Structure 1
Amino acid sequence: MNKTTSRIYRGVQLSLAAAAALTLASCGVGGPVDASKKSEAASAAGEGRTLKLAHVYDAGHPVEKCGVTTLTEKLAGSGITVKSFPGGQLGSEAQALEQVASGALDMSIAGPSFLGVWHEPAAVLDGAYLFESVDHFAKTLEGDTMQKIYSDLKDESGLQVLSGWYYGTRHVTSNKPINTPEDMKGLKIRTPDAPQYMLNTKIMGGTATPMALGEVYLGLQQGVIDAQENPIPTIATAKFNEVQDYVSLTGHLVQAVNVVTSASIFDSLDESQQTALDKAMDAAAASVRECVETAEKDTLAKWKQDGSIKVNEDVDRAAFMDQAREALPGQVSWGELYKEIQASK
C-alpha cells in the first residue's frame, strides 16, 4: 500500500469510527461516569474499589500499554482495580479533567497546560524549551518546587496529582522541513486546546490551531491544518507519518502527562490502598519512561530506514530556544518560575 492509498484508507477508517462514536453517544455511551455509584456498588458486592481512568491516547501508546498496564499489575490484591478508557472515549483532556473535578470520573491523564487552567503555575512544565534533558525534567517533577505547585493545585481546585509520566519530547511534523523559526511562518499548526500550547506555537513562529487529538489525522489529510507537534510515540501510534512528509526534531517540549484524581476520591481510600496506589504510580512512571525512550529511539531508526517520513535533524534548536526564552517569561504569570527551573539543571 503506497502512502497515498494509505492516507485514503486511514481517512475512511476514521470517518467510520467517528460515525460509530456518534451512534454510541446517542445511546448514552461515553458520557460522564458517576464514580460514586460504581464505587458503592463495588463495595456492596465485596469487590473493593474500581477506579475509572480516562485518557486520549490510543491503546497502543506507552501511556496505556506500559503505564496503565503496570498500574493494573501492581495494584493486584490491593483492593483497587483500575478500569481504563483510552482513545478519548470519555471526552477530551479538558473534559475528562473537568469530570474528575466534578466527581463524575475517578482519574484522568492530563498535560500540565490543562492543569494550568485550574492553577496557573502548573502550566510551567509546558513552557517551550524549559528543559534540556529528560533527567532535568524528572528531577524537577520530583523536586520541592513542583510538589508545592501540586499542593496548591489541590487546595485551590480539589484536583490531586498522583504521578507525572514522561510523555516524550515534542517535535513538529509538516510537509516541508522546519529548520528555523522563519520556516514556521504561515503554517497552521495543530495544538491541544489549552492556552500554553497555543502560546508556545506563536512564540516559535507558527499559527496555532486548537484541535482534539482524534481529529488531527483527518485535519492533516484534508488540509485543514498544515502541521502538528507531538512526541515520536504519539506521532507513530496516531499514524501521522502517513499524512505528513517531514518530522523536524525541534525538541521544544520535554513533557509530562499527569495522572490526576480528586482529593475526595483519594481520601476515601483506606491507608493501605493509598499506599498501594502511590507505589503503583511510581512503578508505572518508571515503566512509561523506559517505554517512551525506547519507542523514541526505535521509531526514529525505523523511519530513517524505511523513509515513511523524512527525519529532519538539521534544526537550529538554538534559534528556537533563544526566541522562546526571550519572549515567554513576559507573557505568562509564572515567568520567574520558568527562569528558576531552567537555571536548576
Structure 2
Amino acid sequence: MTSTARKILRGAHLSVAAAAALALAGCGVGGPVDAGKKQEVAAAASEGRTLKLAHVYDAAHPVEKCGVATLKEELAGSGINIQSYPSGQLGSEAQALEQVAGGALDMSIAGPSFLGVWHEPAAVLDGAYLFDGVDHFAQTLEGDTLKRIYSELKEKSGLQVLSGWYYGTRHVTSNKPITTPEDMKGLKIRTPDAPQYMLNTKIMGGTATPMALGEVYLGLQQGVIDAQENPVPTIATSKFNEVQKYINLTGHLVQAVNVVTSASIYDSLDEAQKTALDGAMDAASASVRKCVETAEQETLDKWKKDGSITVNENVDRAAFMEQAREALPGQVSWGELYKEIQASK
C-alpha cells in the first residue's frame, strides 16, 4: 500500500471513529436512553456526513458567528453537516492544519502564513502592505494567480483551499501612540507563530514575539509583551482593549483566512455534495466580509465614544508602506509575486 493510500485509509478510519464518537455522545453513554433520543440520533445519522472544522477564533468572532453559521445554514439538507470547534479547542492554527494534512481532522481555518509553511508562495497574501484595500484583496482572491498557487499547494501537500474569507485589516495596539516606524523600535510585539508575521513586524520596526492567541491577553496584562497586532474584531472579542491604551491604525495587512480541507476528503464527496459545499463556501465568504466590515466600523465608533481604548488615526501609513514595500521583496522567495499582485490593482 502506498503512503497516499495509507493516509486516505487512516483518514477514513478516523472519520468513522469521529462519527461514532459523536453518535455515542448524543446517546448519553453511561445513562438511560429514551426512545425520543434514539430517534433524534437516528435522524441525525440519516442526514449524512459530519465534517469536523476547527479554528482558533472566539465563538463570538465573525468567523464563527457569520462564516461557520452560514456554512451550516447553506448546507442544511445537503448531506453534509459541519461540527465546529472554535477557540483553539483542537489546537493552534498550525496544529489544526497539520491534523488536516495528516487525516485526523476534516477542515481547519488557517491564515496564509501557515499555508506558506507547506508551499511558500501561499504566504504572499500576508505580505505587509500588499493591498490598497479590501476590494483589491477580494479581486486577488478570485483571480488566476491565487488559483494557480492553491493548485500548486494541493499538488505539493494534499491540502485543498475551499475558500478565502476576509479576516479584517490588522492594526497595532500598544500602551503608547505609534505614529512612525521609529515608534516601533524596542517594542516586543506579539505575532502569530509563523515566519511571515515575524518578518512583517521586523520590517515595520518592532521586535516580533510569537505567541498563541489564547495567551496574548495575559501576556499583555503581565507585561511579557508590549503590544500586539490584529484586526479590530479579534481585538474586541479577545478584549485586548482592556489591557492596551492605544489602537494605532497602521492597516499593515488586509488579511484572509482560508478554509482548508484535504484533497482526499473533498474527493470522497459525491458531485452533489461538492456543489453544495462550494456554494456554501461562497455564501459564507460574502457573509463574513459583510460582518467583519460592519464590526470594524461599529467597534471603532464605540471605542471613540467610550474611550476604553484611544483610537490613534495619526499614523504615517505612507512611511510604513514605503519601508515595507522596499524591504520585503528581497527577503522572501516570492518577492516578484508580491510586486505582481501590487501592480494588479
- Asked whether the two chains share a fold, i.e. TM above 0.5, the reply is yes
Aligned-pair CA distance for 1:37: 2.4
Long gaps (5+) in structure 1: 1-32
Aligned-pair CA distance for 1:36: 4.1
Distance 1:267 1:69 in 2: 24
Distance 1:35 1:245 in 2: 46
1:58 is matched with 58
Residues 47 and 77, structure 2, Cα contact 8 Å, conserved in 1: no
1:34 is matched with 14
2:5 is matched with none
Q: Percent identity among equivalent residues?
A: 84
Distance 2:253 2:122 in 1: 15
Residues 203 and 323, structure 2, Cα contact 8 Å, conserved in 1: yes
Long gaps (5+) in structure 2: 1-12, 24-43
2:209 is matched with 209
Output the amino acid matched with 2:15: A
Greater Cα radius of gyration, structure 1 or 2? 2
Distance 1:130 1:50 in 2: 37
1:6 is matched with none
Aligned-pair CA distance for 1:41: 8.1
2:309 is matched with 309
1:343 is matched with 343
Distance 2:309 2:90 in 1: 31
Distance 2:45 2:254 in 1: 44
Question: How many residues get paired?
Answer: 313
1:253 is matched with 253
Aligned-pair CA distance for 1:38: 2.8
Distance 2:96 2:286 in 1: 24
Q: Residues 27-53 of structure 1: CA distance to partner in whole angstroms, max 9, x if unpaired?
A: xxxxxx933423578999534110000
Residues 130 and 253, structure 1, Cα contact 8 Å, conserved in 2: yes
Residues 167 and 257, structure 1, Cα contact 8 Å, conserved in 2: yes
Residues 42 and 50, structure 1, Cα contact 8 Å, conserved in 2: no
2:9 is matched with none
C-alpha RMSD over aligned residues: 1.5
* 1:101-120 correspondence runs (5 A): 101-120=101-120
Distance 1:71 1:45 in 2: 19
Distance 2:62 2:18 in 1: 27
The runs of 4+ residues in structure 1 deviating greater than 6 Å are 40-44
Q: Residues 96-139 of structure 1: CA distance to partner in whole angstroms, max 9, x if unpaired?
A: 00000000000000000000000000000000000011000000
Q: Residues 320-340 of structure 1: CA distance to partner in whole angstroms, max 9, x if unpaired?
A: 000000000000000000000
Residues 188 and 227, structure 2, Cα contact 8 Å, conserved in 1: yes
1:16 is matched with none
Matched residue SS, 1:229: strand
TM-score by length of 2: 0.89
Residues 166 and 256, structure 2, Cα contact 8 Å, conserved in 1: yes
Matched residue SS, 1:168: strand
Q: Residues 174-215 of structure 1: CA distance to partner in whole angstroms, max 9, x if unpaired?
A: 000110000000000000000000000000000000000000
Distance 1:149 1:39 in 2: 33
Residues 303 and 310, structure 2, Cα contact 8 Å, conserved in 1: yes
2:333 is matched with 333
1:27 is matched with none
Residue 267 (structure 2) pairs with residue 287 (structure 1)? no
Q: Residues 278-298 of structure 1: CA distance to partner in whole angstroms, max 9, x if unpaired?
A: 000000000000000000000
Change in Cα spacing, 1:250 to 1:45, as seen in structure 2 (3 Å) is closer
Residues 192 and 211, structure 1, Cα contact 8 Å, conserved in 2: yes
2:219 is matched with 219
1:147 is matched with 147
